[in-house]
Chains A and B, each alone.
Chain A
Amino acid sequence: MCELGRPRRASAVLLLALSLLALSAVAGCRVHPDGSLPPGPPGLAGPHGPERAAALLPPLLVNASLGVRDRCTSCHENVLDPRHALDAPPLTSHPGRLLDVHSPRRFGCTPCHGGLGEATSESKAHAAGIGGVRFAGDATEIACGRCHVDEVALDGAPHLSHGRALIRNAQCDGCHVIGGASHPGRVGPDLSGIGRRVDPAWLFRWLKNPRDYAANARMPRFELEDKYVDALVGYLMTFQSETPFDTTAFPAGDATRGGNLVRSSFCISCHSINDKGGTGVIDLGRVGSKLHRPYLLHLLAATQEVDPGTTMPQYHFTNAQIADVAAYLGSELTDPSFTSAGAGSGSGKLGTWWPSQSVRIDVGRRLFKELRCGNCHAFPGSADWLRVGPILSQLAEKKDAEIPWGTTKYPHTLADYVWHKVESPSVYASSPHQLKMPAYDFTPDESRDVTIALLAQARARALPAEFVVRSRADETLSLPGEFGRLVRRYQCTSCHSVNGVGHNISADLGVEGSRARREWIYEYLKQPYTIRPMLTVRMPTFNLSDEEAGVLADGITSSWHDAKIDALGDLAAGPREVEAGRRLFESKGCLSCHQVGSKGGYVGPSFTSGSPVAKRYRTGYLVQWLENARAVKPDVIEPGFGFSRDQARAVAAYLLALPRDEKAASR
């Protein structure tokens, strides 16, 4: 790769190679000056002919199972040396810490960067990876998808992760066959009975543009004329199949009490209200103008029965509390322009576009099928997915000639095609009726990241099993008995994961039974609080019964623990050990992030108020954490301390000896 324009470099490399060969001959083994890179294969070291020329281009990174034979380090010779971070290419070192976990010895260079590893000219070596894109800059993340086939929170690949999260959220695989980041179920709600649930005027405005109702709405915009939206509304309102919910058991409800309950239950840990709070599920700011009261009551009373696919937990509200919450949502979180009474923007003409109701419904039925609404929603009589979009897992094979460039002016590469199509689906359509794909209104940055994720999944190839890294997030926990029933009822894995299974909104609970004491788990489940002072959201208050909290605490303690951590727990500490721990605690600046009494930072948990150490933690976990927190929580922010086992035990002893009482601690 050094043949052109670099005579001096090439001769330097040549000299290096010759001396290397000489060394090998003398020592009877092959070494590399920095000892970090593997030697070239033995067959190439012959003294004559073209083989000799090849041998003079060291070093060669070889991995037969990945098909790698890379000469990249002939020119990029400092990739492993951080002292060259600011040198000009190709002499700069590799940025970031990805090489710590992807040793070039094992992976070579081209699996992540594309190009032709064996090429001996710069232009050939730097050949495009996929779709006209070189795996350089942010596009390098495209290559991550080859091994990391489906992770949506991949450390070091923020664009790929973001793109995959967007693809999942939008359920692109409703209409396209797509590898990686597929959604396990239908992302939209079941439409059975929607005619009883919502106001037709709301439905009209929702179908016109879901983001008018909620900025974080998942559903795309279909860009339909008003009369076709009206036809869809007419058809959807015929979904009345369920029997009306009997509301006689519910009192009228008090909006003020309901508001307090919504706040104290921390609904906003998941839902936003007028864009404040969690962003993963739909904003509740206008929900009172969307859902009729009987449905709200039914949903709160029997959440998982009403919406079997939901990630929402079943709250333990009384009928009076449910009525209060419904009263609050129905009176405070409203927007009159979304109701029949308000009749905003065109919805006042509902039902007047078509000569008869039967024509309206018939048109709506055909549109519903044509637009493939059933690919994201279950509905009465719904069947399998009818995937109509191109097969995106074969995107890489798309030929340039198949792309309808039209009058577009940007570069004609596959990547540019995908980028613009994602950003504005109508960009290639010669007429609006030709277009099936709805608009997702992605921002330019979102479109770029979706494109990165799409190109990444198209690059996935059959790999040796040891290189494929698969997310466990969509697996299901099979927990027996009452413990399993309660974990499902309270949807623990909507926020937590357990050894990687579930979501990563909150801590992984895989070793929670080794971390926390049973009594603390019980009390926390009964009355959750904000563990880390800097956080504004926390676990919702489920109002668990004593019995339920007991079953969960027992289940967590007995099922989710690690015997090796537990075994570190026999700690008989004397005053000298506690004193040694105190000195370490103070010298390491622990108070910068943690509070003891009234002093200390807001980042980590307080050591005395709320969750005193001795009340919350089991000793073995503390020792393990202080010795090497990353072993139990790989993405922890707390710095490593380099403690020996004895030092970790001393600090643990000090922490366990802290007074439980906040006032006592600050005296």
Chain B
Amino acid sequence: MTSTRALTWISLVAASAMVCQCAKAPGAAHQGAAPITSFAAAVHEHGRSPLDLSLASGKAVYDRYCAICHGDSGGGDGFNAYPLKDAFGVNPTAFSDRAQAAALEETKAIAAIRNGGLAVGKSAAMPAWGYTLTPGEVADVWQYIRSFATTGHGK
């Protein structure tokens, strides 16, 4: 089924209220960038590279499944990070930390996402997402995770 229930229309309205704290006129929606003066630009009809699309898909996956522990900005400081220390003796990896990010090796990190922490010799606190995410989604979320340390989404 395609309909989703967890994201309620109420949270949609709430999310829109949060997303739309920006300026008023169409054209001022993206600060810092040139004003958006056409609908085609507002809907990104042109100009998004495959990497942009991959990052957007990765962000959707990350925000839904990962941010609760790893933090919205990849700081390893999500709402659910604290109890992991007590239950497993570990902290979630902080992707925005350059040292921790540099230590991540692509093949191993993707294996950890797909098969869980235990499978790569780390903690069982990291569940396996290979039954949940498609290979494409794993690749996308890995792109997005890497971007925390390199493009300054993170701290």
Contact = CB atoms under 8 A, between A and B. Distances in A.
Given A589-B126, A592-B125, A136 B84 contact: no
A591 interface: yes
A139 B127 contact: no
B44 A137 contact: yes
A138 B44 contact: yes
A166 B117 CA distance: 42
Interface stretch (A58-66, A84-92, A184-192, A397-405): A84-92
Of A101, A215, A410, A633, chain B has the most CB atoms within 10 Å of the CB of A410
Interface in B32-57: 36-40, 42-46, 48, 50-51, 53-54, 56-57
A120 interface: no
Contacts, number: 247
A292 interface: no
Contacts of A289: none
Nearest to A642: B131
B26 A279 contact: no
B7 to A, nearest CB: 6
A308 interface: no
A137 B46 contact: yes
Contacts of B127: 588-589, 592, 639
A507 B5 contact: yes
B118 to A, nearest CB: 6
Contacts of B88: 589, 591-592
B2 A156 contact: yes
A602 B80 contact: yes
A67 to B, nearest CB: 22
Contacts of B5: 153, 497, 504, 507-508, 633-635
Nearest to A634: B1
Contact of B22 (A95, A445, A588): A445
Interface stretch (A313-321, A381-389, A416-424, A428-436): A416-424
A100 B134 contact: yes
Interface in A602-645: 602-603, 633-637, 639-642
Contact of A153 (B12, B29, B44, B137): B12
A188 B16 CA distance: 21
A118 B124 CA distance: 52
Contact of A154 (B2, B8, B24): B2
B151 interface: no
Given A279-B10, A445-B22, A589-B127, A416 B39 contact: yes
A171 interface: no
Interface string A24-64: 00000000000000000000000000000000000000000
Given A95-B140, A97-B134, A503 B8 contact: yes
Contacts of B56: 95
Interface stretch (A7-15, A258-266, A364-372, A593-601): A593-601
A270 B19 CA distance: 20
A152 to B, nearest CB: 6
Contacts of A241: none
B83 A153 contact: no
A130 to B, nearest CB: 11
B14 interface: yes
A97 B2 CA distance: 11
A166 B50 contact: no
B136 A410 contact: no
A653 B117 CA distance: 25
B72 to A, nearest CB: 14
A448 B64 contact: no
Interface string A514-549: 000000000000000000001000000000000000
Contact of A602 (B2, B79, B116, B117): B79
Contacts of B51: 86
A505 B48 CA distance: 33
Interface string B53-97: 110110010001100110000000001100110111000000000
A113 B109 CA distance: 34
Contact of A89 (B7, B50, B65): B50
Contacts of B123: 589
B13 A165 contact: yes
B40 A134 contact: yes
A471 interface: yes
Of B8, B54, B123, B135, chain A has the most CB atoms within 10 Å of the CB of B8
B104 interface: no
Contacts of B136: 82, 85, 93, 95-97
B129 A92 contact: no
Contact of A95 (B53, B79, B83, B87): B53
Contacts of A209: none
Of A409, A418, A444, chain B has the most CB atoms within 10 Å of the CB of A444
A641 B140 contact: no
A376 interface: no
B103 interface: no
Given A413-B39, A534-B80, A637-B65, A445 B16 contact: yes
Contacts of A137: 43-46, 48
Contact of A216 (B13, B68, B128): B13
A278 B10 CA distance: 7
Contact of A500 (B3, B27, B116): B3
B39 A153 contact: no
A443 interface: yes
A280 interface: yes
Given A85-B140, A444-B25, A639-B127, A592 B3 contact: no
Nearest to A495: B8
B107 interface: no
B17 to A, nearest CB: 6
Interface in A135-152: 136-139, 148, 151-152
Contacts of A506: 8
Contacts of A503: 8-9
Contacts of A101: 2
B50 A88 contact: yes
A446 B16 CA distance: 7
A469 interface: yes
6 contacts: A95-B54, A153-B4, A419-B26, A600-B83, A602-B80, A639-B131
Interface of A: 82, 85-89, 92-93, 95-97, 100-101, 132-134, 136-139, 148, 151-156, 159, 161-162, 165-166, 168-169, 215-216, 270, 278-280, 409-411, 413, 415-416, 418-420, 423, 443-449, 451-452, 469, 471, 497, 500, 503-508, 534, 586-589, 591-593, 595, 599-603, 633-637, 639-642
Given A137-B48, A500-B3, 9 more contacts: A97-B136, A132-B39, A132-B40, A138-B44, A278-B10, A279-B13, A637-B64, A639-B129, A642-B130
Which 7 A-B pairs have CB atoms at the shortest separation, nearest pair first? A640-B131, A443-B20, A137-B44, A82-B136, A280-B10, A139-B43, A444-B29
